Each structure stands twice: as C-alpha cells, then as structure tokens.
Amino acid sequence: MRRFRPHNVRARLTLWYVAILAAVLVIYAGSASAVLFFELRSQLDHRAVEDLETVEGFLSFGVDGNVLLRNDYHDHPYPATMQERLMEVWTPDGNLLYRNEVLGNRALDGPPKPREGADSYSNRAVRLADGTPVRLVSKRHLLDGRPVVIRVGFSEQPLWERFWQVAIGLILGLPLALGLAGMGGYVLAKHALGPVERMARRAREINADRLNARLDVENPNDELGHLASAFNDTLARLERSFEQLRRFTSDASHELRTPLTAIHSVGEVGLRGESSARHYREVIESMLEETARLTRLVESLLTISRADSGQIRLARTRIAVVPFVREVCSFVEVLADEKSQRLTIGGDSEIEFEADRAILRQVMINLLDNAIKYSPAGGAIFVRVSTVEQEVAIEVEDHGPGIGPAHRDRVFDRFYRVDEGRSREAGGAGLGLAIARWGAEAHRGRLELACPPVRGCIFRLVLPMVSADATMQNGANGQVHLSERAEAG
C-alpha cells in the first residue's frame, strides 16, 4: 500500500499540525474524563461513608431479632438521601438482618465476605440483579453488643450519566476543534509560505538573458530572507561567471580573428597579379609566421580552458625556493641581457616549500618576462625571496613606466593589455598575468601588484610555505578550477 503523502508543503504542514493536535486533544480528553470519573466516585464513596456513620446510630435490634432503622432523625419524612440509600445489615456469618425498602427484594451482593468491613470501611462496586451499578461501603459494627455488617450503597447511575455527558461533549467537540485548527493551520501555512511561492515565481523569470534581476528580500534577518539572500548571492556569482565567459569568448574570438585576418589578407594580396618567386616566398613566410602565432594562442587558450574545467592537477614536489628562482632567472636571463638589463636575485636561501614545479615555473617566467618587456634598456630588475610568518613571498620588481591606477585592477584579466598596440607587437596576447594569477591561486597563494610611488611596479607572489592543504587537495583529485579561484580572488 502506498503511503498517503500530499504533494505540497502547505498540506503536509497542516496534516502534521492536525495530527499532533488530535493526539494532544485525545490525551487531554482521556485524562480529563478519567479525573472526572475518579473524582465523582470518591465523592460517592465519601457520601456513603458519611451516611453509614449517620445511620449506625439509628439502628437497633427489634424484638424479633431483626434490625430496625429509626427514621426520625430526618427533619422531613422522605429526604433525598433516604430515597436513594440502599442498605443491608448482615450478621458476619451470613444472616440477613435488615434490607431497606428502596432495595426491595434486590440483594446487595449476597452474604458478607470473610473479613468484610472488619478493619475499616471497605468499598467496592457491585451490580444489583436488575443491572444497576452500585457503589458499596461496608463496616462492621457492634450493635447492642453483637457484631453486624452494615452495608450502605448508592447507585452509580448518576455518576455514569454525568461522566458520559462530559465525555460525549469532549468526543463531539474533538473533530470540530480539529477541523477549525486544520483550517486555521492551512491558512497560516499558506500565509507563511506565500513568500516562498513568490520567490519561486520570480526565480523562474530569471534566465540567462536577465541574470541581473534579483529576488526581493523582505526581511533579511528571517529564514526566508536568508534563503533569498543566498539565492541572490548565487545569482550574482552566476552573473559574474556568465559575464566572464561572455567577455572571454568575445576577446578570444577577437584575438583569433586578428592573425586569421592577417593570413587571409597577406595571401589574398600575394595572389594578385604575377610576381617573382621571391615575393611569393615572402608571402608564404609571412603567413606561416601568423600561423605560428595562432598556434601559440590556441595553446594558451587550451591551457586556460583546461584550468577552467579543473583538468589540471597539481604535481607537488619539494622545491628549494632560491635555487628554483635562480634557475628560472637563468632561463630568461638572455632576454634581459639583450636589453642590457641587470637581473638581481636576493633573499634567504634556506626556504623550501611544496608546489607544482611546472606551474610555478610558468608563473615566474610570465612575471619575469613581463618585467623585462616593460623595463627600459639598461634598467634593473630585482627578484627578492622572503618569508613572512608561514608564507613565502617572491617579488619581481621592475623599473619600467609602472601601471596607472586605472589599469591596476584589470592587469590580471584575460586579454587585458595596458598598451594595446605595443603589447601585441611584443608578442603577448594578454594572458600571461591571468595565467600567473591562476597558478598562484591554484597553490592557495596569491599574486599581488604593488606600485611604488616613483616608478616601476612590484609583482608579489605569495605562497603558503607549509602546504597544509596538500593532502586535502590531492584527496579531492587535486583538481583546480580557474574560475572558482578567480571568484575567490
């Protein structure tokens, strides 16, 4: 059998509410009835005991050995108690001495039990022959020096009537109360969940074309406010990555179009009219050069897209920082040498850390290449290694023209060039620093740009010395997502 399970939260909430309320009410009604019943019964017992005590004094033996009850203690002839009272007097050995008129010929529970009423008042429930339920109190008594058992009983009929009255009232009231509560609960749930419904409707309207829309936050401090804020944050991130993707696609196609245009136009113009073999050769060479540039660009894009999709895994090894920096510097030294620039390395030679050598090398090469490219001939470039607390900082300082405040935030963006024309001629596609920053962040480090007041700029690569995250990273496949890192940064 399938369990009944309503589909919307509103109905489920109401159902739960009603079910719990029903359970509470049933328990309440049950205990209230029980309390009432026992209360009424103890009243009855009390009355019987009192009556029995009263009656004792008015009993006496008649001449025939039977017991007589004097009725003259009542103010008026037939009081209510007397009319209702059921009474018998027995000898302990089972001879009936007295039975009052109200009982008539109905027996009040036969001969006395062995020690009935011997110690104190003993009370019990019995049934008369006609089915009337009776509450019975017995007591042993010395009547004129002879022991007798006096029994006084009262019908339980009124007690039960009263009890059922209340119980039926409660039972009838229960569904009514539940119905009302259910309706109330439903309305309340609907009201409480209304904002959720509105949020859902609004969220449905937001699509890729309208990512700038946001949910309304009615009260930022309540639960729904938290939900809306969380959703808005997600939207903001989504919008940023969409924007990033859009810009990346448009920039990439622009970058690809440039060499393609060059190839096409060089070829096209070369084919115009007859020309010398030498000229054709030049045309083809020029086209090949552009193709080489295109290939390199595609490779950079591939690197970036693999980083974006988290396909690049860090292969961490222990690296001694200063020898590593020295090695990278010696690789690019020839470029600095060409421009008569001095490349100076300074810093603590003892530091070691764990990192992916190839990626870090690419980061350093990009930074140094940048510094060499933008420093004037004969300038000086400093590379400094230092430690601050648990971090290693590698600084690359050049004395070029520096980077204007307008560009500082964007130099790490993909395809961003401070000086459009010049940089492309210098061979960059504006991806070097973007890749460098990704490399730093892939190592849980960061790449910062500091601009001294005079001139030049300092790129500071900061990496955690003890890579506490190394095991964790490797545990999670060691995959690194460029976009996420970029977001974090």
Partner 1 sequence: MRILVVEDERKVAQALREGLEGESYSVCVAHSGEDGFFLANSENFDLVVLDLMLPGRGGMEVLSAMRKRGLRVPVLVLTAKDAVEDRVLGLDSGADDYLVKPFVFAELSARVRALLRRGKAESPVALGIEDLHMDLLTRRVRRGPRQLQLTSKEYEVLEYLLRHQGNVVSRDMLGRDVWNETARHATLDNVIDVHMVRIRRKVDEGFATKLVHTVRGVGFVITAEKS
Site residues (vs partner 1, CB under 8 A) = 284-292, 295-296, 299-300, 302-303, 311, 331-332, 334-335, 337-338, 358, 362, 365-366, 368-369, 427-429, 432
CA 293 – CA 265 distance, rounded (Å) = 16
Which C-beta is closer to partner 1: that of 295 or that of 390?
295
Nearer to partner 1, 208 or 334 (CB): 334
Find, among 482, 313, 304, 325, the residue nearest to 394 by Cα. 325
Would you tell me how many other CB atoms lie within 10 Å of the CB of residue 115? Answer: 10
Angle (CA) 94 95 101, round 5°:
115
Give the count of alpha carbons within 13 A of 374, CB side only: 24
User: Which residues, other chains included, contact 157 with Cβ-Cβ below 8 Å and sequence gap of 6+?
Assistant: 132, 133
| Helix, strand, coil percentages in the chain from 3-state DSSP, rounded to 5 | 50, 20, 30
Q: How far is the CB of 329 from partner 1 (least distance, A)?
A: 12
Shortest Å, Cβ 266 to partner 1: 11
| Least Cβ distance, residue 320 to partner 1 (angstroms) | 19
Q: What does the radius of gyration of the chain's CA atoms come to, in whole angstroms?
A: 51
- Collapsed DSSP state (helix, strand, coil) of residue 32: helix
CB-nearer residue toward partner 1: 103 or 436: 436
Q: Give min distance, CB of 406 to partner 1, in A.
A: 25
- Alpha carbon distance 333, 441 (integer Å): 26
91 vs 286, beta carbon nearer partner 1: 286
State the nearest-atom distance from the C-beta of 292 to partner 1, in Å: 6
Cβ-based neighbours of 256, under 8 Å, separated by 6 or more: 294, 297, 298
N- to C-terminal Cα separation, the chain: 54
Nearer to partner 1, 225 or 267 (CB): 267
Q: Which is nearer to partner 1, 124 or 264 (CB)?
A: 264
Q: How far is the CB of 356 from partner 1 (least distance, A)?
A: 12
Kindly tell me which of 289 and 469 has the beta carbon lying closer to partner 1: 289
Phi, then psi, of 162 in degrees rounded to 5: -60, -45
Dist CA 37 CA 48 (whole Å): 17
Q: Could you tell me the smallest distance in angstroms from the CB atom of residue 424 to partner 1?
A: 11
**Inter-residue contact 391 to 463 (CB < 8 Å):** yes
- Identity of the residue, 258 or 286, whose beta carbon is nearer to partner 1 in the bound complex: 286
Instruction: Report the nearest approach of partner 1 to the CB of residue 272 (Å).
Output: 21
